[in-house]
A and B are shown apart, each in its own frame.
Chain A
Amino acid sequence: MFAAFMLDTWAAGLIVAITAGVVGWFVVLRGASFAAHVLPLGTFPGAAAAVLLGIAPSAGVAGFGLAGVVAIWALGRRGRPEVATALTLVMLLATGALLLSWTDRYAAQVYALLFGQVLGVSRASLGGMALAGAGAVALALAGFRPLLLGAIAPDLAAARGARPAAWEFGFLAAIALAAAVAVPVVGALLTFALMVGPASCGRAVSARPAVALAASVAIALALMAGSIALSYLTNWPVGCFAGLGGAGCYALGRALL
C-alpha cells in the first residue's frame, strides 16, 4: 500500500483532503452547498473541451470553473442565488454535451472524471494540484472574518465596509479551485461529499470557529486516507468510499448535535 507508485496517490489525497476540509467548512457555514455541488460538476465538461482542443485537461477544468464562478456571482447578485447556480450548471453541462458529441475519444475519461481515479494521479500533476489547493485555502482563510460576518447577516458585512461582494467572489473562486483539485481524484459527482461531510461533522466537535475548522480538516484527512486504503485493498473506486464516508460524516455530525 505504501509502495513507491502509491506515494503520489497519498500526496494527492493529502492535498485534496486539506483543501476540501478548509473550503468545505466555509461552504457549510455560508449554506453554499448548492454552489459546492454545481462547481465540481460544471468543471467536468471543461476536461472534455480540453481533450477536443488538445490542451491539458486541468486547463479546461480551470477555465470552466472560472466561467462557473463568474456566472454564479454575477447572476446571483440580483435575484435568487440558487436559480443563478442551477442555471450556471445547465449552461456548463449543455456546453459539455455539445463538446462530447464532437469526439469519441473521451468515454474512458468521462467515467474517470465522474467517479474519480486516484491511482491515475501522475507526479507531474502534483505540483499544479498543490498550487491550486494552496490558492483555495489561502482565499478561504483570508476571508475568514468577512465571510463569518456575512454569514451572520449580509447587511452587517456591508455596513462595516467589508466588501461582501468581493469576498463572495473570492469564496466561489476557492470552491472552484478546490473542485479542480478534487475532481480528478474523487470525481465530479462525489467531490461534494468530501467538502460538506467532514465540515458538517467538524461543527459538532467544537463551538469555536477555528477549532471546528481544524476538526473539519482532520476528519477530511482521515476520510481521504481511509478511502485510498480501502480502494487499494478492494480495487473499488476511491470516490465510492469518499462519497459514502462523507455522507456518513454528515449523518454523524447531525446525530451529535
Chain B
Amino acid sequence: MSGAALALEGVAVGHAGRAVLSGVGFSLAPGSFAGLIGPNGSGKTTLLRSILGLVPLLGGRVAIGGRGQVGYVPQSIALDRFMPIRARDVIALGLDGHRPGIPLPSRRRRAQVDEMIDAVGAAGFADRRVGDLSGGQQQRVMIAHALIRRPDVLLLDEPLASLDLRSVAEVVALLAGLAREEKVAVLMSAHDMNPLLPAMDRIVYVAEGRAVAGTVAEVVRGAVLSALYGAHIDVLRVHGRVLVVAAGGAPHGHAHDHAHDHAHDHSHDHDEDAMHVVRIP
C-alpha cells in the first residue's frame, strides 16, 4: 500500500459504538477516481466523515498519503441567496478559512484563487453571490474550495444529489479531469453508480454493513454482489446502464433501517434508488 493516497484497513464506522459498516479495506492511488456506491443509509456519509476525522473510527486504520491533506465537499451548503459571499470568497476560504481574523488582500492569494476558478470553469460566475448560483455552479465552487490547498485526497458526499442531468455529467467529467491533472485521489459517494461509469476507475460498494472494493469489472458482478447482499443478485447491462436486480425479497430493504445516518436524505433519492436496485416479485 506504499504510495497510496488513501488506504483503509479493517475500518469500522458507526454511531455511539454501534457499527453501521465494518471490515472496510481499500486503497486509492494518487490520481484515481473512485465511487463510493450503496443504497441510502448504508453508511456512506459516516464512512466519509470518519475518514475526515469528524466521527471517531470504531476500528481499523485510515492512512492518508503525501502531505496528509484531505479536501471535503459536504452534501449541501446552507447559504441563502442574500448572503454577501461571492463564489471567489468561498474558494479563498479553502485556503485559510480556519485562521482567525479578516484576510488581508494579497496578490499571491488572489492568484491562487483565480487559478482554481479557471481550473473548475467558474470564471463566469466568480463574482456572484454563491447562494444565487445553480446547484451545478455551487458544486464547482465547493470543489475549488476543497482543492485549493492541493490535498492528497478529495472526498465528496453525494455531490450529484441535487443536480440536473446535464450538470451531473459535467461535474463527473470535471472531477475525473481534476483527479488526473492534480494527482488527487477522488472518492465520491453516490446512490446510483451509472453517472460515474464513464469516469470511475475504482468502486467501493457498500451494503448490508460491509464493503467490497476493486475495479467496476471486478465488483459489479452478480456473484460478488450476491455475496455482499447475502441474496441472489443479477447485474444487467442495458443501454449502457447497469441495473442491479434482486430476486425475491428486497436485498436493500435495510435501506430505511439506518435512517439516522442520512439527515440530508431527499425523498427523490429513494425514487432513483428504485431504479438502481430493481426488485422482481
Give A contacts to B, CB under 8 Å.
29, 31, 141-146, 148-149, 151-162, 200, 202-204, 206-212, 253-254, 257
Contact = CB atoms under 8 A, between A and B. Distances in A.
A253 B83 CA distance: 12
Contacts of A211: 84
A160 B101 contact: no
Contacts of B53: 159
Nearest to B76: A153
Nearest to B52: A159
A200 B41 CA distance: 38
B86 interface: yes
Contact of A141 (B54, B70, B96, B101): B101
Given A153-B77, A207-B127, A210-B102, A160 B86 contact: no
Given A146-B98, A206-B84, A156 B74 contact: yes
B31 to A, nearest CB: 22
Contacts of B72: 155-156, 159
B84 A155 contact: no
A149 B93 contact: yes
Interface residues of B, number: 33
Contact of B100 (A29, A142, A156, A159): A142
Given A152-B78, A156-B74, A144 B86 contact: no
B236 interface: no
Contacts of B128: 207
Given A152-B85, A155-B74, A145 B93 contact: yes
A207 B97 contact: no
22 contacts: A29-B84, A142-B101, A143-B100, A144-B101, A145-B96, A145-B101, A151-B78, A152-B77, A152-B85, A153-B77, A153-B78, A155-B74, A156-B74, A159-B70, A160-B97, A206-B84, A208-B84, A209-B84, A209-B89, A211-B84, A254-B82, A257-B81
Contacts of A151: 78-79, 83, 85
Chain A contact surface mostly: helix
Contacts of A31: 78
Interface in B87-122: 89-90, 93, 96-103
Interface centre among B54, B78, B98, B130 (most CB of A within 10 A): B98
B98 A141 contact: no
A146 B93 CA distance: 9
A203 B84 contact: yes
A205 B147 CA distance: 30
B49 interface: yes
Interface in B186-201: none
Nearest to B81: A257
Given A146-B98, A159-B53, A208-B84, 15 more contacts: A29-B84, A31-B78, A145-B96, A145-B98, A146-B99, A146-B100, A149-B97, A151-B85, A152-B93, A160-B98, A162-B98, A206-B84, A209-B84, A212-B84, A257-B81
9 interchain residue pairs of minimum CB distance: A212-B84, A162-B98, A149-B97, A203-B84, A153-B74, A160-B98, A159-B72, A142-B100, A144-B102
A207 B86 contact: yes
